[in-house]
C-alpha cells in the first residue's frame, strides 16, 4: 500500500481486511455530501458514490459510509467518473449522536477516530438540547463516547460573554457530571 494512506491512519488491521475484497481498492472517506463522498486512495483524492447493492442492503443510517470509514472502491482514477463504494470495512469505532427530533434515529458523525473534540460556544446560539444529543442515548445518561475506544473532549468557549456564568457553570456541571468528569481551567 502507498504511504499516502498511512498518513490518513491506515493500520495493519484495515490492510488485512482489505485483502478479502479482490479487484477493489482501499480508500478512506474524507467528506460526505448526501449521496456523494470524497475519498482518498493510494493515487490521491476522488469522488465516490455507493453501489446500488450497498444502498439496498442498508438497514439504517449506520449502514452507510461516514467520514473516517475505510471503504473498498472500484477504481483509483476519477477520469472515468466517480468511484463506486462496494464495501465498508469493519469499524473500530463509531461516533454517533441522537438525530434531532423525537425519534431514536442515530446520526453518524465520524468513524474510526481516536480522539473526539466537540466545541460549543456560549454565545446566543448555545443550545443545551443540542449538547445533550452528544451525551445521551435513549434518554439514559450515558456518554456515547464510551461506546468506542476514544478520548472524548468537550470544549465550551466564550464563557466571558455570559452575564451569569456561575449559574451556567453550575447547570453544566450538574448536567454533565452524570456522564463524565468535569474540570475547571
The contacts of residue 178 (CB under 8 Å, 6+ apart) are 141
Average pLDDT over the chain reads 80
Percentage of the chain beyond pLDDT 70 is: 71
* pTM of the shown model: 0.74
φ, ψ of residue 127 in degrees (nearest 5): -140, 115
Structural domains of the chain sorted by starting position, each given as residue range(s) with its CATH number in brackets = 3-88 (2.40.50.140), 94-176 (no CATH)
pLDDT tens-digit map of 129-163:
777 666 655 555 444 544 555 566 777 777 677 66
Q: What's the rounded Cα separation, in Å, for the pair 24 and 46?
A: 15
Q: What's the rounded Cα separation, in Å, for the pair 104 and 125?
A: 24
pLDDT tens-digit map of 69-116:
999 999 988 788 899 999 999 998 887 777 776 677 777 888 998 877
C-alpha cell at 175: 448536567
Pairing relation of β-strands 151-157 and 115-121? parallel
pLDDT at residue 180, rounded to an integer: 55
The more confidently predicted of residues 129 and 40 is: 40
* DSSP label at residue 81: S
Q: What's the rounded Cα separation, in Å, for the pair 50 and 132?
A: 31
Provide the angle, in degrees to the nearest 10, between the axes of the packed helices 165-176 and 128-135.
20
Q: What's the rounded Cα separation, in Å, for the pair 90 and 71?
A: 9
pLDDT at residue 177, rounded to an integer: 58
CB 27 within 8 A of CB 9: no
Q: What's the rounded Cα separation, in Å, for the pair 172 and 149?
A: 25
Q: What is the number of other CB atoms lying within 10 angstroms of the CB of residue 55?
A: 13
Query: Given a cut of 50, is residue 13 above it in pLDDT?
Result: yes
Amino acid at each position: 500500500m502507498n504511504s499516502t494512506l498511512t498518513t490518513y491512519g491506515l493500520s495493519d488491521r484495515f490492510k488485512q481486511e482489505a485483502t478479502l475484497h479482490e479487484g477493489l481498492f482501499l480508500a478512506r472517506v474524507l467528506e460526505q455530501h448526501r449521496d456523494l463522498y470524497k475519498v482518498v486512495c493510494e493515487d490521491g483524492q476522488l469522488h465516490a458514490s455507493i453501489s446500488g447493492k450497498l444502498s439496498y442492503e442498508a438497514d439504517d443510517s449506520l449502514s452507510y459510509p461516514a467520514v473516517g470509514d475505510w471503504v473498498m472502491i472500484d477504481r483509483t482514477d476519477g477520469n472515468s467518473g466517480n468511484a463506486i463504494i462496494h464495501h465498508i470495512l469493519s469499524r473500530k469505532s463509531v461516533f454517533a449522536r441522537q438525530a434531532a427530533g423525537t425519534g431514536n434515529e442515530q446520526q453518524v458523525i465520524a468513524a474510526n477516530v481516536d480522539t473526539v473534540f466537540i466545541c460549543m460556544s456560549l454565545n446566543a446560539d448555545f443550545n443545551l438540547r443540542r449538547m445533550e444529543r452528544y451525551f445521551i442515548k435513549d434518554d439514559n445518561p450515558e456518554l456515547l463516547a464510551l461506546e468506542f475506544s476514544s478520548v472524548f473532549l468537550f470544549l465550551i468557549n466564550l464563557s466571558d460573554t455570559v452575564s451569569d456564568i456561575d449559574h451556567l457553570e453550575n447547570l453544566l456541571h450538574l448536567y454533565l457530571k452524570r456522564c463524565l468528569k468535569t474540570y475547571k481551567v
